[in-house]
Amino acid sequence: MKIESDRASSGDGGQTAKYDRIGVGYREVRRPDPRLAALIAGGLGDARTVVNVGAGAGSYEPDDREVTAVDPSQVMLDQHPGIRKIKGVAGELPFEDKEFDAAMAVLTVHHWPDPARGLAELRRVSRRQAVFTWDPDHRPELWLIEEYLPEVREFDRARFTPLSEVTEALDAHTVLPFPIPHDFTDGFRAAYWRRPESYLDPVVRASMSTLATLPPSLLEPAVARLREDLRSGAWQRRHAGLLERESTDYGYRLVLAGD
């Protein structure tokens, strides 16, 4: 079964339409985790002015800096608590060259119609860049995909920019891994690797861009199989080793570039 990518051929139509639809209530499930916040804050160095591109509801923006948020979705910006908010797209940032000390982008590059252009814009408007992303080539993959939704692999490869391309586009000097803690609070897709029952919750799934856009004919049977495996104890037997871990590396990385 083919799953349509959310990238638009040009402009920001795909991302805007998606988050105008699924972004309502986003902040309730996608609560920033302090451990990832600390990693990103460290990556921004001593920057005083920061532009957050694909800012969404403002997760991981440091509160001790002057942050300008940019996002194409008004629904997301309406949930953003900041005072400097601009509706715009990564590929056409309305700023002067080197206007900011740093630029940040958190789990957003895969939504950009032209990731290379967007990353070039980050470099143009800032002296330092901190990009948190996920590498589709990383293994092992999340068990949810491997065992219940293998059809998503092709979709991921079509929309997620490989880590090697992100680092090359930014001319990155540092790549920091971020293993996901078992009690991670930000409900993106791998957050619940040790809490499988969470994937049964439609509110939780709605906050994950991939799962939120899967056709019911694909998603509902997968959820039913997971529910049955949890009821029977089959999932717990297969993943006894996971239940003993404090964190697991699923390919999430903070990429640093510039000064």
In the block, tokens 């964190």 appear at: 247
Residue 26, token pair as written in the block: 């986003």
CB 59 within 8 A of CB 30: yes
CB 180 within 8 A of CB 248: yes
> What DSSP string runs through 8-46?
-SSTTHHHHHHHHHH-TTHHHHBPPPHHHHHHHHHHTTT
The Cα–Cα gap between 229 and 179 comes to 26
The Cα–Cα gap between 79 and 19 comes to 12
Q: What is the pLDDT of residues 72-97, one digit of tens each?
A: 988 888 888 999 999 999 999 999 99
Rounded to 5 degrees, φ, ψ at 126 are: -140, 160
CB 36 within 8 A of CB 132: yes
The Cα–Cα gap between 10 and 157 comes to 19
Q: CATH top-level class for 13-258?
A: alpha beta
Whether pTM > 0.85 for this model: the answer is yes
How many residues comprise the chain? 259
Which pLDDT tens digits describe the chain residue by residue (259 residues)?
A: 334 333 332 334 444 444 444 444 455 667 899 999 999 999 999 999 999 999 988 989 999 999 999 999 888 888 889 999 999 999 999 999 999 999 999 999 998 999 999 999 999 999 999 999 999 999 999 999 999 999 999 888 888 999 999 999 999 999 999 999 999 999 899 999 999 999 999 989 988 888 888 999 999 999 999 999 999 999 999 999 999 999 999 999 999 999 9
